[in-house]
Structure 1
Amino acid sequence: MSQKLKLGVPKGSLQDATIKLFAKSGWKIGLHHRNYFPDINDEDINCSMCRAQEMSAYVASGTLDVGLTGKDWILENDSDVVEVSSLVYSKVSNRPARWVLAVAGDSPYKRPEDLAGKKIATELVNVTKNYFKSQNIPVDVDFSWGATEAKVVEGLCDGIVEVTETGTTIKAHGLRIIAEVMQTNTRLIANKKAWEDPWKRKKIEKINLLLQGALKAEKMVGLKMNLPKDNLDSAMKILPSLNSPTVAELSDNKWISVEIMVDETVVRDLIPELKELGAEGIIEYPLNKVI
């Protein structure tokens, strides 16, 4: 019987972003209604869905060989896993999320120390306890099953530790952030025994390589153009690229074809400069993977 790699995909807020990232990397994950075992176009992989909060525990136990979850939940569960790589992506923005300490906007609390002896609600109980313990601040930490922001407003607690990317939801509930507890982002994690297995490790490394390539490509685009040969040196001074641009001769020896990969944020300034240098037929195109 051929080997199978047991892959865990996080269910919940990261689900769609994860499936999209895998699709760009070459693996199509097909969901079924109320089914936790989606199809995947790779006969060497069995795919399972589970909550990000539980993923590291399943990987540590060997129920799953590899999975994606946040650094926050690895620490929360104190899971003994191999952290293969960091993958910065989310449903909102490709930047790390933050677990923050927040209080009511009209409360007198300005610093974590002001909450000594008070009640804190959070889903991230162990990390929160360790945070306050490290600062020698005695607090009562209660587990929150959800709607954590509302508990401050309703007077059920004095402060909360909640995850946010932009802070918009925190502010929308009339809360004020007074400290950052930790930053977190998605990690590709592996079971230790699976990581020691040569076949599974090679498969995991292949997945990681292509996931990283797809993430890198999200921030970049390709540019291709025709350029007067005499202006190449001037163009080279303004062309940012991973390596030297690809330059090819054209049938008209006064012109050359130039192709580069650049950060998409510089394109709006770069194209007008290239036009000033006589570039023609400038094409911008998306990239699927950059390895």
Structure 2
Amino acid sequence: MTDGLPPTTLRIGLPSGSMQQSTIDLFGRAGYKISVDGRNVFPRIDDDKLSAVLFRAQEISRYVVDGIVDCGLTGHDWIVENDNEKEIVEICNLTYSRASSSPARWVLAVPDESPIQRPEDLEGKIVATELVNVTRKYFAARGVKVNVEFSWGTTEIK
């Protein structure tokens, strides 16, 4: 990428949105000060060898693969969702979230009183999710045919 930065500058993709502040805090604990001005997607870092860009966490692995950034912080789930497992090297597992230091989990959930008790009980049903590819792989591995539809967030209420 020809962005005018010296070739020795490490370009990092950082998550915007709900993970932005906890990511900035994580860098702060490592001794770096990151400043974001309003809606500017190019935060300042107090190290001239680092350059950052804010992206949706869902997009970061694709931008690493495409060479737009050298590395990035995103979830393993988004690497799998974007089918980037072969092109991405996961260096470490940083257990942090916007609300806790526990790892995030994606779950298949139904109400307590639901007749659906196992994934196989969803045969022929519609499953709404943000992780379409991950969900398709999950059900395909179990031989369960479902119609997987995309849904942005708060899927559990739809």
SS in structure 2 at match of 1:100:
coil
CA–CA distance in structure 2, aligned partners of residues 22 and 145 of structure 1? 28
In the TM superposition, 1:235-274 aligns within 5 A as none
CA–CA distance in structure 2, aligned partners of residues 147 and 85 of structure 1? 28
CA–CA distance in structure 2, aligned partners of residues 88 and 107 of structure 1? 33
| Structure with greater helix share of residues | 1
Q: Deviations over 1:115-174 (max 9, x none)?
A: 1010000000000000000000110000002331111xxxxxxxxxxxxxxxxxxxxxxx
Q: Which runs of 4+ in 1 moved over 4 A?
A: none
1:2 Cα offset (Å):
5.6
Amino acid at match of 2:61: S
Q: Are 2:17 and 1:20 aligned?
A: no
Q: Deviations over 1:93-120 (max 9, x none)?
A: 2222111001234321111111101000
Q: Are 2:78 and 1:59 aligned?
A: no
The answer for the alignment partner of 1:72 in structure 2 is 77
TM-score by length of 1: 0.50
Q: Are 2:115 and 1:123 aligned?
A: no
CA–CA distance in structure 2, aligned partners of residues 49 and 119 of structure 1? 33
CA–CA distance in structure 1, aligned partners of residues 118 and 7 of structure 2? 57
CA–CA distance in structure 2, aligned partners of residues 33 and 12 of structure 1? 12
List gaps (5 residues or longer) in structure 2: 1-5
In the TM superposition, 1:164-183 aligns within 5 A as none
1:13 Cα offset (Å):
1.9
CA–CA distance in structure 2, aligned partners of residues 94 and 26 of structure 1? 19
Q: Deviations over 1:31-72 (max 9, x none)?
A: 011100011101111111001100000011110001100000
The answer for the alignment partner of 1:172 in structure 2 is none
What RMSD in Å do the two structures reach over aligned CA positions? 1.2
SS in structure 1 at match of 2:113:
coil
The answer for the alignment partner of 2:15 in structure 1 is 10
CA–CA distance in structure 2, aligned partners of residues 2 and 135 of structure 1? 47
Which of the pair has more CA radius of gyration? 1
List gaps (5 residues or longer) in structure 1: 152-291
CA–CA distance in structure 1, aligned partners of residues 66 and 127 of structure 2? 31
2:46 alignment partner, one of 14, 35, 41: 41
2:149 alignment partner, one of 113, 134, 142: 142
SS in structure 1 at match of 2:8:
coil
The answer for the alignment partner of 2:37 in structure 1 is 32
1:14 Cα offset (Å):
1.5
CA–CA distance in structure 2, aligned partners of residues 11 and 111 of structure 1? 35
CA–CA distance in structure 2, aligned partners of residues 39 and 135 of structure 1? 46
SS in structure 2 at match of 1:84:
coil
> 93-102 vs 55-64, which deviates more?
93-102
1:92 Cα offset (Å):
2.1
Amino acid at match of 1:132: F
Amino acid at match of 1:134: A
| Paired residue total | 151
The answer for the alignment partner of 1:101 in structure 2 is 108
CA–CA distance in structure 2, aligned partners of residues 138 and 120 of structure 1? 10
| Structure with greater strand share of residues | 1
Amino acid at match of 1:48: V
Amino acid at match of 1:148: T
Q: Are 2:117 and 1:110 aligned?
A: yes
